[in-house]
Amino acid sequence: MASKKHFPLRIDPKLYEELERWAADELRSVNSHIEYLLRDALRRAGRGERRHPALPDKDGEA
């Protein structure tokens, strides 16, 4: 598994409590839920990794 970037996140305590409840509802840790939300936001914005099945990957295979 690739290593992950560690960084401190300053967040309002009430917002953290809401995230904590939401993460528990989804059976995730707060950290993994924040990562999920960020990935979803990137996807919805049309950003992040873009993969096209017709284009070759890094190894040159389609």
**What does 1-62 look like in DSSP terms, one character per residue?**
------------HHHHHHHHHHHHHTT--HHHHHHHHHHHHHHHTT-S----TTS--TTS--
Model-wide pTM > 0.75: no
For 1-31, write each residue's pLDDT tens digit.
Answer: 678 889 899 999 999 999 999 999 999 999 9
Confirm if 62 and 56 have CB atoms less than 8 A apart. Answer: yes
- Give residue-wise pLDDT tens across range 23-52: 999 999 999 999 999 999 999 999 977 655
